Amino acid sequence: MHIAICTLAPVKNTLENEEENSLPVSFRLCCPYNIYLLAAIMEQGGYEIAIKDWNGKVYNPQEMFNELLNFDVIMFSTNSWNWHPIRCLIEKLRSMREDQIIVIGGLQATIFGQKITEEFPVNYVVRGEGEKSVIPLLRLIEKKGREDEVPGLVYKKNGEIHLNPMSPLMTPEEMALLPVPLYEKLQDKTYDWLSIESSRGCVNNCIYCAVPYKRNWRPLSAKAFVDHIEAYIPYLGKVSKGKFFFIDDSFIIDVNRAREIAGLLRKRKIDIKAIWHGHVMELFEREMLTELAPYTDIIIVGAESFHEETLKKIGKTFKPEDILKGTGIAVKAGISKKLLFSFIIGFPWQNKEIIIEEINQIYDLVSTTDACALINWLTLNPGSQIWNEFYGKKKVPLRDYGKLYDEWGEEASSLNSQEKEEINFYIRYLQNTIPCGKLTLAVPIKSYKILV
C-alpha cells in the first residue's frame, strides 16, 4: 500500500489558474510538526510513508497533482487556511481515480468533519488528535479492522454519515512516549525553526481563538521535555536558523516547570535557542525570565489590546497597565530585546478612534523600550467563539464559505473599507519613524482566496 501524508500552504487562487498558483503563500517559519509526528507513528507501526510537505516552499499545483496521483492512500492535514487548495486537489484527483483513498485530518476536519463528508469526494475524515486513530485507520483500509475501531472517524455507509466518538485527549504521560517526528525527511533549510512541543491545549478561553482544547492544558514534565529536546537536537541542522520553535500556546504557564526546564538545560549543558509564546502576566516572573534568557531567542507575548473594554470582552484577565509593568520587569531581567508583542485590531465593537488610540499606545511601547510589536487585523477563525456567534447558525454549504467570507467580515466589522485603509496608512507612517522591524503590520490572511 503506497501511502502519502501531506500538507501545503495557502494559495491565492484555484487550481484552474496554473500560472498564478505557482506562487503560493510560503510558511517558512517553523516546520509542520503534526505530519512528521504521524509519519513516525505510522512507520513505527510497520508502514512505509511518503511525506509531501509543500508548506514551506513554492510549488506548482500541476506537479503536486502528478506526484499524488500514483498513491493508494493520501492523508491531508488541513486547516481553514489551506482547505481551499486542498479541496481543489481532492476534486481533481477524484476525477482521475475513483479507487484512491482520501483521508482528511487536522483542525478543519475536527470543526467541519460532517460537512466535508457530505460535500466532498473523500473516503474518511478524522476528528480530534490523530495519534490514536492513524493505525486503526490504516488497518481499516487494509480490511483488517472495523469502522467503529477508529476514534474520531467520520464516514459514509449505506448513504448515511456516521461520526465515531473522538479519542480521549492524550495525557502528558502518553505524549512523553511519542516517537521523534521523522525530521530526517525534512528538506534542508526549507524552514527557519524546528518545531517541538512541551504542552498541548491552553488555560484560556479567548473568543477570537480557534484552539480546540481550551482550558485544558497538558504539559510534559520538565524531564520529559528536556529529554525530547536532546532527541531533536540532531535535526537542528535541517533548519536555516538552527533553533527551536516551541509550538505550545504558552510555554511558561507553569512557572515552576519552566524554571525546572531551564535548570535541566543548564545541568546537562544543553546549548539551544528557541522562540516561545507567553502571556502578559507571566512576564511578572523575573527570576524565571532570567533563568530562561540563555535559551531564548524570541518571546511572543499575546498582549492583544491596550483597550480595557476589549481585553474584558475577549476573555483576558489582565489590564493595559500590566503590559507596561511586564515590559519593565523584562527590562530588569535583561530580555526586553527578545519581546515581540502581538496585538489584534478590528474587533466588532472597535471604531476608528479606539483603534487609532490603541495604535498610539503600541507605538509608545516600542519607541520607548527595546520591545517589538506585531499588529494583526482580526481574523474570523472558524471554530472560535466570535466565529460561532456570527456564522455558526448560517445554513451555508462549506464550499460556499470562501465566496461569502469577505461579506461576512464586513458584517462583523464596524469599520468601512476607507477607514481600514486610513488605519493601515497611519501604521505605515509610524513604521517609517522608528527602526525597521520594531513595528510590523501583518498581512491579513483573509486577503488570500483561501478560506474554506
Residue 282 has pLDDT above 50, yes or no: yes
Residue 150 belongs to a domain? yes
Residue 140 belongs to a domain? yes
Residue 185 belongs to a domain? no
SS3 426: helix
pLDDT in tens, 86-98: 998 999 999 999 9
Would the pTM of this model clear 0.75, i.e. be above it? yes
Query: Which residues are CB-neighbours of 315 under 8 A, at least 6 positions away?
Result: 204, 205, 206, 207
Residue 400 and residue 298 share a domain: yes
414: domain CATH number is 3.20.20.70
Domain residues for the domain of 32 are 3-161
Residue 305 and residue 262 share a domain: yes
Return the percentage of the chain with pLDDT > 90, whole number. 75
Which of 143, 161, 179 terminates a domain? The answer is 161
Residue 125 and residue 40 share a domain: yes
Residue 235 and residue 144 share a domain: no
DSSP one-letter string for 296-364 = EEEEEEEEE-S-HHHHHHHT--S-HHHHHHHHHHHHHTT-GGGEEEEEEE--TT--HHHHHHHHHHHHH
Residue 407 and residue 284 share a domain: yes
Q: CA-CA distances (angstroms) from residue 113 to 161, 162, 244, 303?
A: 10, 10, 32, 32
Taking CA 383 as the corner, what is the angle to CA 382 and CA 389, rounded to the nearest 5 degrees? 85
Average pLDDT, the chain: 90
pLDDT band at 393 (very low <50, low <70, confident <90, very high): low
* Strands 160-163, 153-157: pairing kind: antiparallel
Residue 426 has pLDDT above 80, yes or no: yes
Which of 119, 144, 161 terminates a domain? The answer is 161
Residue 349 belongs to a domain? yes
pLDDT in tens, 40-85: 999 999 999 999 998 887 777 888 899 999 999 999 999 988 888 8
Task: Taking the CA atoms of 261, 267, 272 and 273 in sequence, report the sign of the dihedral they define.
Answer: positive
Q: State the total domains in the chain.
A: 2
The residues with which 284 forms a beta bridge, in sequence order, are: none
Instruction: Report which of residues 60 and 18 the model is more confident about.
Output: 60
pLDDT at 124: 98
Q: What is the C-alpha to C-alpha distance for residues 438 and 156, in angstroms, rounded to an integer?
A: 52
Residue 427 and residue 314 share a domain: yes
Residue type, 181: P
Q: What is the mean pLDDT of residues 372-378?
A: 95
23: domain CATH number is 3.40.50.280
Residue 438 and residue 351 share a domain: yes
Largest CA distance in the chain: 66
Residue 383 and residue 298 share a domain: yes
Residue 187 belongs to a domain? no
Q: What is the C-alpha to C-alpha distance for residues 196 and 179, in angstroms, rounded to an integer?
A: 12
pLDDT in tens, 189-248: 999 999 999 999 988 889 998 877 888 999 999 999 999 999 999 999 999 999 999 999
Residue 14 has pLDDT above 50, yes or no: no
Residue 306 and residue 443 share a domain: yes
